[in-house]
């Protein structure tokens, strides 16, 4: 009997070349029992866990694998360990269906790249694609088939710790980054042994959590959802993402893991995607505390009916799906469709052809931390630093300095530069700031180091030594920020200040009268008005990954000219949150001469640093934008041209940004919307012409009837170095 099944499977594989993935999946599906089908929809965590496992089965995973009752594992790492489990699945189970192994490869597997919000600050999708490609090469060599990334949630609230995992607040930029990451992970050929399946998460609008508190309620109008939040998921799906993850949150009373609107109507219906959907960790089980299912059986029913295909860690499908089908509560077609989607992914990855193709210990040894990948971490980090302030061009520092004070809890830190969600990232691989600077400066410059204080806590006993170090030096560079565990999942904050007594430390250092440069490492916008007002220079480094010390040292001493731009608005105070550049004008935009307008009595409306902001060691001068036409028809495109000149002394990269405003619509429109950008490099004195084409697609929005259309009318176009410092022109769209 066994032999016969093997024969059938091999037979189907032989025919495979001429068959579509769907036909191949169907040929397997035809052989499966109901229990085996359910098995393909069950996923458990292997080595380590991110939360409480809810009522797992008592049998060992080996026993379950032999019975074909598990289709996927997450968190099993190394080719050796994945090989062991894969062998059981394909040699000891009846149908020999290979497992798919998933892991959160968010910004690196072993070799850690900058955190995603840092990567996004590069405004360089080509670089982001390269980062994802490298991550895929490294992870795939260690048996990983599938990453739970990109995380594409739009986030307008820096209190939300997971803002660090995404690309920021803008749907256009977020969409480009999302697609770039998908291309990078999946490559041109998903069946190659160095490409991995992407998983777009967290579908949908997880970043809209009320109050920025993780897992909290989201309530958005359909218009807001479609116009802002959904766009990056759509872009990732259009780029071919093979899977999505349903989010924890509800939207307007319906948890995503039970949302037919999100899964069936939008994903499968409108976007015509055959990507499979995995739940988030226990998110099907959480339909119970959400209050839409009274027990796990009902939760399973809601999940499968919403077409959430795979159940991560809940055991709801494991225990109840077969029963639901037998009782007639769930149509077997729903199960078949889900299984087909999972099998198609396995076929696309080539796992049916060679289930061990990702399990090669030799290849793993050669690939992990290879020079190519480690070099790429540096290349990417070079574009992620954002220069927030540079009074009197104090930066870059002179290489003929005789002494420098390096102060702060992040100077010698080897783990914080990794940032959160760093998979197997190893602090031993990190070049700390101290190491980077000592390597760069050699013996010529006296380094006076003091920790000063810890990131958290109230102890100021280290201040005196820090002040002494500052006094003994020509310039003081302070490295402060957040602990890497302060952003990421379940790490929401109600305040956005520099934690602990770090700001007090900087205040003491400032009193010495020495020039003070602050380098920040953190995973979210911080409220730092005092720093902006009082220190001489500020660099936002985010968490730069293993090459932290190298790129920061290069930037401080001018071997690298910072060129990152913020993709999230920095508020002055937490009370301004949510604060974002593409806000609506309101009926009463702020007018200082009129009390009854929209503003705070105790604070100005403007942010500390706007979206798109970031300085350079050089300066750029923009010409006024010129338009190819000032009147265009609804289906016509428009060219916007601007000349940008490097008017400073350094070679530098600039992100030239284009925004539009639709002045009057059938519904209100944002005051600015990013529609294009170009990152260019200019030598001192050099001028480049940048041309943007605005296609009708870019004028479209969801009108009063939620139809995606171009409405005739007057528009403004803005071009500039950030979302506030812009030059404008006008045009009209006619019928
Ligand atoms: C997170 C996901 C992650 C999953 C698996 C969940 O807690 O929300 O982002 O992919 O765990 O690790």
Answer whether 552's CB lies under 8 Å from 380's CB.
no
Query: Distance of CA 496 to CAs 209, 262, 463, 521, 547, Å?
Result: 17, 33, 23, 13, 26
Cα(148) to ligand 1 centroid in Å equals: 7
Answer whether 583's CB lies under 8 Å from 149's CB.
no
Cβ neighbors of 444 (< 8 A, separation 6 or more) are: none
Cα(262) to ligand 1 centroid in Å equals: 19
Residue 56's pLDDT is what? 80
Residue 59's pLDDT is what? 84
Residue 61's pLDDT is what? 86
Residue 17's pLDDT is what? 53
Residue 9's pLDDT is what? 52
Q: Which string of DSSP letters, residue by residue, matches 420-434?
A: SS-TT--GGG---HH
- The answer, yes or no, to whether any atom of ligand 1 lies below 6 A from the CB of 281, is yes
Domains of the chain: 1-99+249-348 (3.20.20.300), 374-576 (3.40.50.1700), 620-734 (2.60.40.10)
Answer whether 471's CB lies under 8 Å from 512's CB.
yes
- The answer, yes or no, to whether any atom of ligand 1 lies below 6 A from the CB of 53, is no
Instruction: Tell me how far apart the terminal alpha carbons of the chain are, to the nearest angstrom.
Output: 70
* Other beta carbons less than 10 A from residue 313's beta carbon: 25
Cα(523) to ligand 1 centroid in Å equals: 18
In which residue ranges of the chain is pLDDT below 50?
Answer: 1-8, 10-15, 47-52
Active site residue ranges: 280
Nearest to 723 by CA among 637, 620, 611, 626: 611
- The answer, yes or no, to whether any atom of ligand 1 lies below 6 A from the CB of 153, is no
Tell me the pTM: 0.96
Pocket test for ligand 1, best of 51, 75, 489, 490 (most atoms within 8 A of CB): 489
Residue 621's pLDDT is what? 98
Instruction: Determine what percent of the chain is predicted with pLDDT higher than 70.
Output: 96
- The answer, yes or no, to whether any atom of ligand 1 lies below 6 A from the CB of 383, is no
Residue 54's pLDDT is what? 57
In the numeric block, the tokens 């730069």 are attached to 544
596, 601, 605, 607 alpha-carbon torsion, rounded to 10°: -170
The span from the CA of 291 to the CA of 217, in Å, is 13
Residue 14's pLDDT is what? 42
Containing 734, the helix (H) or strand (E) segment is strand 726-734
Residue 11's pLDDT is what? 42
Residue 8's pLDDT is what? 45
Residue 57's pLDDT is what? 84
């Amino acid at each position: 009997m066994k032999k016969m099944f093997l024969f059938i499977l091999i037979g189907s594989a032989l025919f495979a070349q001429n068959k579509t993935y769907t036909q191949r999946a169907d040929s397997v599906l035809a052989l499966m029992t109901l229990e085996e089908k359910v098995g393909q929809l069950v996923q458990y965590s292997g080595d380590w866990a991110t939360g409480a496992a809810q009522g797992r089965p008592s049998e060992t995973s080996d026993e379950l694998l032999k019975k074909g009752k598990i289709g996927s594992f997450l968190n099993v790492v190394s080719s050796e360990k994945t090989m062991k489990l894969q062998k059981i699945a394909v040699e000891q189970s009846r149908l020999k269906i290979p497992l798919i192994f998933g892991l959160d490869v968010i910004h690196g597997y072993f070799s850690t790249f900058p955190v995603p919000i840092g990567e996004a600050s590069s405004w360089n999708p080509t670089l982001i694609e390269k980062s994802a490609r490298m991550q895929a090469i490294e992870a795939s060599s260690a048996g990983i088939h599938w990453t739970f990334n990109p995380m594409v949630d739009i986030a307008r609230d820096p209190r939300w710790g997971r803002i660090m995992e995404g690309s920021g607040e803008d749907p256009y930029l977020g969409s480009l980054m999302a697609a770039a990451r998908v291309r990078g992970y999946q490559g041109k050929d998903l069946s190659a042994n160095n490409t991995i399946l992407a998983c777009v998460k967290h579908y949908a609008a997880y970043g809209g959590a009320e109050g920025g508190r993780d897992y909290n309620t989201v309530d958005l109008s359909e218009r807001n959802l479609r116009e802002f939040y959904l766009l990056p998921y759509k872009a990732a799906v259009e780029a071919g993402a093979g899977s999505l993850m349903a989010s924890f949150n509800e939207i307007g009373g319906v948890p995503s893991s039970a949302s037919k609107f999100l899964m069936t109507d939008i994903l499968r219906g409108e976007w015509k995607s055959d990507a499979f959907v995995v739940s988030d960790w226990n998110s099907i089980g959480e339909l119970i505390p959400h209050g839409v299912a009274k027990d796990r059986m009902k939760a399973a029913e809601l999940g499968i009916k919403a077409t959430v295909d795979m159940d991560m860690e809940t055991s709801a499908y494991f225990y109840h799906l077969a029963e639901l089908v037998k009782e007639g509560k769930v149509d077997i077609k729903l199960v078949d469709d889900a299984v087909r989607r999972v099998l198609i992914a396995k076929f696309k990855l080539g796992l049916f052809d060679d289930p061990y193709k990702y399990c090669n210990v030799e290849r793993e040894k050669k690939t992990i931390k290879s020079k190519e990948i480690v070099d790429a971490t540096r290349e990417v980090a070079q574009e992620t630093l954002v220069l927030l302030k540079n009074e009197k061009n104090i930066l870059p520092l002179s290489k003929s300095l005789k002494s420098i004070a390096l102060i702060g809890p992040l100077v010698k830190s080897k783990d914080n530069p990794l940032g959160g969600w760093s998979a197997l990232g190893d602090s031993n691989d990190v070049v700390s700031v101290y190491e980077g600077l000592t390597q760069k400066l050699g013996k010529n410059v006296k380094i006076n180091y003091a920790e000063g204080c810890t990131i958290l806590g109230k102890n100021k006993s280290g201040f005196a030594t820090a002040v002494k170090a500052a006094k003994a030096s020509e310039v003081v560079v302070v490295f402060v920020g957040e602990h890497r565990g302060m952003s990421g999942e379940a790490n929401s904050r109600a305040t956005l200040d520099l934690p602990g007594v770090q700001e007090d430390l900087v205040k003491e250092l400032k009193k010495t009268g020495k020039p003070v440069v602050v380098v920040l490492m953190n995973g979210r916008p911080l409220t730092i008005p005092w720093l902006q007002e009082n220190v001489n220079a500020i660099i936002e480094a985010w968490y730069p990954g293993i090459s932290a010390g190298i790129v920061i040292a290069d930037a401080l001493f001018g071997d690298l000219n910072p060129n990152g731009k913020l993709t999230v608005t920095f508020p002055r105070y937490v009370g301004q949150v949510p604060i974002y550049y593409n806000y609506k004008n309101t009926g009463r935009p702020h007018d200082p001469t009129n009390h009854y307008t929209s503003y705070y009595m105790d604070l100005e409306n403007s942010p500390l640093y706007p979206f798109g902001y970031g300085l350079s060691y050089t300066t750029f001068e923009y010409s006024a934008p010129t338009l190819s036409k000032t009147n265009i028809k609804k289906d016509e495109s428009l060219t916007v041209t601007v000349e940008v000149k490097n008017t400073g002394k350094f070679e530098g990269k600039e992100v030239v940004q284009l925004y539009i405003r639709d002045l009057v619509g059938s519904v209100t429109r944002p005051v600015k919307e990013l529609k294009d950008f170009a990152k260019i490099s200019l030598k001192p004195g050099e001028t480049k012409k940048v041309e943007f084409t605005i296609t009708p697609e870019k004028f479209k929005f969801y009108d009063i009837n939620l139809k995606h259309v171009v409405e005739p009318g007057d528009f403004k176009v803005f071009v500039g170095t950030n979302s506030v410092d812009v030059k404008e022109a006008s045009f009209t769209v006619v019928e």
